[in-house]
Amino acid sequence: MDYALIIATALGAIALYLLLPRGRANMVKLGGLASVLAMGVGITYLIHWTAAAHAGHTGIIENLFFYAFAALALVSAAGVVCHPKPLYAALYFVLMTLAVSGLFIMLMAEFIAVVLIIIYAGAILVTYVFVIMLASQGGQTPAAQYDTNSSDGFMAVFVSFVLLGTVLQAIFCAGPAGFMHSLPAPHAVAHGLGSLEVLGANLYSRYALPLELAGILLTISLVGAVMIARKNEPVAHVLGTGDLPAE
Amino acid sequence: MTTLATPQLAVQGFSSLYEIWILLGILFLAGLGFGVANVIISHILGPSRKGNVKDSVYESGVNPVGTTRDRFNVRFYLVAMIFLVFDVEVLFLIPWISSFNDSRHPWLHAAHGPLFLSVVIFTVILLVAYIYAWGKGVFKWD
Amino acid sequence: MVGVFIAHLIFALVMLGMVTGIIAYLILLERKTAAWIQDRIGPNRVGPQGLLQPLADGVKFILKEEFMPIHADKILFILAPIVIIAPALCGFAVIPWGGDLAAGTALPKFLGGWAFPHTFHVMVANPQIGVLFVIAMASLSVYGVVLAGWASGSKYSFLGGLRATAQMISYEIPMVLSLLSVAVVAGTLRLGPITDLQATYFSSVSFLPAWNVFTQPVAFLLFVTCIFAESNRTPFDLAECEQELVGGYHTEYSSMKFALFFLAEYSAMITGSAVAVALFLGGWHLPWIDQLLYHGAQPVATGWLGMLLKFVVFWGKVIAFLFFYMWVRWTLPRFRFDQLMNLAWRGMIPLSLATFVMASVFVYLRQEGIIEHRGWLLLGNVVLIGIMFAVTELRPADSGNRRMYVLNSRYNPIPASAKAELESAV
């Protein structure tokens, strides 16, 4: 058991719970304080952990980009959940995508990083923004349009952070030495791990079946989208909004 | 995982891959700074006289009627959904390109038959999705 | 290795300044071209021949009043022009502006005489994903348009933003597919090697440079159409068509915020043209004259003079392409929105898929050793165009321009049958 990790997770849970939109006077400042504390504990823990893994070398300078991108990803992820306006939430999602693709670049996975931007920022979130823009109903106040109060905020935060805590414990339980052992060796990275050639060759030969299945899955999702969205209007080409002329 | 004989990610003259992304990041930040600076400068230097009519939206001189943020045709949504599916499928082809036509690595060159076959199957799936959407009249705009 | 990094950084900043400067003069060029095509004189008051006009425009933009509609979403309204300009200004980073500088090329004496330890690619960065970076930046700039349209709180802006987004995402798929059909032949996504492969001549028709536009004309046409659509230019400028939507998504913008949308559009044009030149038009390759200068094919890695020549040739091609943009803008009328979407979804996507499959088959057969010559690719393209025309002819005709019935109209009253259907539906 790693108490620092548990404390960080618990602080994060409290912070997120306080930050969730509630419609009444919420405790945003307190939530902000708790989130800063949670991140502080987490980063301190990670620095200590790196020092233990690398014989006293804290690696703050080398990992500066990691900490920056990770913090940005966390903050914007919290923004996605907590912002009361849906369009802003979607934009926070875009910011989070950029931060995560920065993390991928640090792992030398250029392709995944760029595809993350193209797919998530360029396609999925455009769809979200479309929905948000198209589904808003005119003439109502924003508060009435969406449920700006988080329903069951406590249960959601509780379940997700228990899950997060479990995953973190599982990752970190082996200790610094054991964790380093499970990583791919540095020379594997130098020898083409993450390069497009290797990715393509593996994807299309070794993992050909999952790839084709993914293609079929995408086709099925397209069928679903068409079935849901395409309705046959009885008379589609009549302009005008007035009632039918009385005869 | 098959490994390549030569390091693929080594960039000529750079000590690491990160440096080119730091360059790209600097360029992005420079663009961002350019935008921010221009907005701020014109905010400071430009005049500002407010008025009721001036602050209303431009609708060709007619008083605005109703609200802008209204419900809209679902067809735009459908376009976005279909685009999403095709975009993902097309991006799956990209790693295939660089491994399919790679004469530098003999083992990749030897494997080009199976690589070609699996991409043909994948393209056929893409085509089936496309034909289905066409048949359902998704691409009809009227 | 710090020297290499600093050299790239300096190059990046120089290119950034150069691109913004060229954008300013592109606007002048656009106005001059428009005037020329419409038999007018064009701007000629500021400086000789109006050459200082961009400067005057810039000062004017900065000093103009900025305002914001009262219903606008304030944060997003200010954010939108910044969001659109940042990705637009870094798309050019992966473009090979001038081939390579050979290893050992030294700076002039008065700059310290530092020599490049390795071959220096004359580009800001050379990631292995190459041209995908341009696409990622283009997909980020969609947000500027969407946010501008939504945040203004104006109906014209909203419609413009909606149209622009639907259009930009529709044309992204054929764009990616057409550039993939070039990339599969070269076997890489980096623009540098794709350009290097084109800097030769066909072996059988030795006067014709082996540019991709000659081997894959269909892909070239598709790509050019797509970059026109992606940069919202006529005939695809439905997002900002003056006659319908006033200014589209930037209707409510003024002063420098408006100028940033303008800059982003022109910067997207420059990036698009540069990618088109690098992918299809031989990049820095100077045809025919290189035979005289080098007594053979133009080498990829050269010294300063060769690099400068390539740089000038590349920019020359880009400017020529930009002129083509303007020429089209002031010549062709605009599409209707349904025609625009039909073109993308029913015409260009299947065609680009066919081009891609054909290029892949060509590469497969080349690896099998069955065919070698790139002329086969051209033959395939010609066959593809033939099939396309045949399919267009044989396809059942669209109902096309249907009548739109309007309630209580004298000219297009609702027919009795439709009225009965409508009543039963209500």
- Amino acid identity, position A68: A
Report chain A residues whose CB lies below 8 A from the CB of B8: 192, 195-198
Indicate the pTM of the whole model: 0.85
CB C66 within 8 A of CB C254: yes
Model pLDDT, residue A51: 78
User: Using a CB cutoff of 8 Å and minimum separation of 24, what contacts does C383-390 make?
Assistant: C384/C218, C384/C351, C384/C354, C384/C355, C384/C358, C385/C217, C385/C218, C387/C354, C388/C351
DSSP structural state of residue C205 = S
What is the bridge-based pairing of β-strands C120-121 and C405-406?
unpaired
Task: Pick the closest to residue C199 from C276, C311, C299, C274 (CA basis).
Answer: C299
CB C77 within 8 A of CB C258: no
| Cβ–Cβ below 8 Å for B76 and A108 | no
| Cβ–Cβ below 8 Å for B78 and A105 | no
Question: Residue A55 domain-assigned?
Answer: yes
Report chain B residues whose CB lies below 8 A from the CB of C85: 31-32, 34-35, 38
Q: Which of A50-54, A212-216, C290-294, C402-406 has the lowest mean pLDDT?
A: C402-406
Question: Residue A86 domain-assigned?
Answer: yes
The answer for residues whose C-beta is within 8 angstroms of residue A177's C-beta and 6 or more apart is A53
Model pLDDT, residue C317: 92
Statement: residue B129 has pLDDT above 70: yes
CA distance C418 to chain A (A): 7
Model pLDDT, residue A244: 43
For the ranges A48-57, C109-118, C361-370, the maximum mean pLDDT occurs at C361-370
| Cβ–Cβ below 8 Å for B118 and A201 | no
| Residue % of chain C over a pLDDT of 90 | 8
Q: C24: number of CA atoms within 13 Å, CB side?
A: 16
Could you read off the pLDDT tens digit of each residue along chain A, which spans 247 residues? Answer: 577 888 888 888 888 887 877 765 567 777 788 888 888 888 888 887 777 777 767 667 777 888 889 889 988 998 888 887 788 888 899 999 999 998 888 877 888 889 999 988 888 888 888 777 766 654 455 555 556 667 777 888 889 888 988 888 887 777 766 666 666 665 555 556 667 777 777 788 788 888 889 889 988 988 888 887 765 544 444 444 444 444 3
Kindly report the average pLDDT of chain C as a whole number: 83
Residue A215's domain spans which residues?
195-229
| A94 at C interface, C-beta within 8 A | yes
Statement: residue B45 has pLDDT above 80: yes
pLDDT level of residue B2 (50, 70, 90 thresholds): very low
Per-residue pLDDT of C59-103, as tens digits, reads 888 888 888 887 777 888 888 899 899 998 888 888 888 877 777
| A231 at C interface, C-beta within 8 A | no
Return the ∠ at Cα C207 (arms to C201 and C209), rounded to 5°.
35
| Cβ–Cβ below 8 Å for C176 and B90 | yes
| Cβ–Cβ below 8 Å for A229 and B128 | no
What is the bridge-based pairing of β-strands A238-239 and C100-101?
unpaired
Per-residue pLDDT of B75-89, as tens digits, reads 677 777 888 888 888
Chain B: residue nearest C70 by CA?
Answer: B55
Higher-confidence residue of C317 and C5: namely C317
Q: What mean pLDDT comes out for the span C380-395?
A: 85
Model pLDDT, residue B90: 87
| Cβ–Cβ below 8 Å for C364 and B43 | no
Least CB–CB distance from B42: residue in C61, C88, C187: C61
Least CB–CB distance from A118: residue in C136, C146, C165: C136
Q: Are residues A75 and A151 in the same domain?
A: yes
Q: Which of C17-21, C103-107, C313-317, C324-328 has the lowest mean pLDDT?
A: C103-107
CB B97 within 8 A of CB C184: yes
| Cβ–Cβ below 8 Å for C153 and B57 | yes
Report chain A residues whose CB lies below 8 A from the CB of B7: 190-192
What is the distance of C-alpha C392 from the center of its chain?
A: 27
| A201 at B interface, C-beta within 8 A | yes
| Cβ–Cβ below 8 Å for C87 and B139 | no
Residue C23's domain spans which residues?
2-425
| Cβ–Cβ below 8 Å for A205 and B9 | no
Least CB–CB distance from B4: residue in A195, A211, A219: A195
Return the ∠ at Cα C358 (arms to C356 and C360), rounded to 5°.
70
| Cβ–Cβ below 8 Å for B28 and C173 | no
Q: Are residues A152 and A95 in the same domain?
A: yes
Per-residue pLDDT of C260-283, as tens digits, reads 888 888 998 899 999 999 999 888
Scanning C186-245 for CB atoms below 8 A from A yields: 189
Question: Residue A237 domain-assigned?
Answer: no
CA distance C187 to chain A (A): 10
- How far apart CA A232 and CA A226 sit, in angstroms, is 12
Statement: residue C166 has pLDDT above 90: no
Scanning A5-64 for CB atoms below 8 A from B yields: none
Least CB–CB distance from A119: residue in B71, B88, B114: B88
ipTM: 0.81
| Residue % of chain C over a pLDDT of 70 | 96
Q: Are residues A102 and A137 in the same domain?
A: yes
Report chain B residues whose CB lies below 8 A from the CB of C155: 57, 59, 64, 68
Return the ∠ at Cα C90 (arms to C271 and C111), rounded to 5°.
105
Q: Are residues A168 and A158 in the same domain?
A: yes
| Cβ–Cβ below 8 Å for B92 and A197 | no
- How far apart CA C201 and CA C193 sit, in angstroms, is 16
Question: Residue A241 domain-assigned?
Answer: no
Chain C: residue nearest B91 by CA?
Answer: C176
Least CB–CB distance from C143: residue in A94, A237, A240: A94
Report chain B residues whose CB lies below 8 A from the CB of A64: none
Overall number of domains in chain A = 2
Report chain B residues whose CB lies below 8 A from the CB of C256: 38-39, 41-42, 46
Q: Are residues A182 and A207 in the same domain?
A: no
- Chains in contact with B, where contact means 3 or more Cβ–Cβ distances below 8 Å, are A, C
Interface test with B, best of A110, A145, A207, A218 (most B CBs within 10 A): A218
DSSP structural state of residue B57 = P
The answer for residues whose C-beta is within 8 angstroms of residue C171's C-beta and 6 or more apart is C225, C226, C229, C230, C236, C344, C348
CA distance B139 to chain A (A): 11
- How far apart CA C212 and CA C196 sit, in angstroms, is 11
Overall number of domains in chain C = 1
Scanning A97-126 for CB atoms below 8 A from B yields: 105-106, 108, 110-111, 115, 118-119, 122-124, 126
Model pLDDT, residue B16: 62
The domain locations on chain B are 10-48, 72-142
Collapsing DSSP to helix, strand or coil, C406 comes out as strand
| Cβ–Cβ below 8 Å for A234 and C162 | no
Report chain A residues whose CB lies below 8 A from the CB of C139: 117-118, 121-123
- How far apart CA C7 and CA C126 sit, in angstroms, is 14
Task: Give exposure, C39-56, as e/b (b: 16+ Cβ within 10 Å).
Answer: eeebbeeeeeebeebbee
Collapsing DSSP to helix, strand or coil, C209 comes out as strand
Model pLDDT, residue C398: 62
Task: Indicate left, alpha or beta for A59 from its phi (over 0: left) and psi (-120 to 50: alpha).
Answer: left
Give the residue carrying structure tokens 């735009």. Answer: B76
Report chain B residues whose CB lies below 8 A from the CB of A106: 18
Q: What mean pLDDT comes out for the span B28-50?
A: 85
Least CB–CB distance from C169: residue in A114, A126, A244: A126
Model pLDDT, residue A99: 93
Least CB–CB distance from A196: residue in C128, C419, C422: C128
Task: Pick the closest to residue C7 from B23, A245, A162 (CA basis).
Answer: B23
Collapsing DSSP to helix, strand or coil, C126 comes out as coil
Question: Residue A245 domain-assigned?
Answer: no
Model pLDDT, residue B135: 81
Question: Residue A236 domain-assigned?
Answer: no
The H or E element spanning position C302 is: strand C301-302
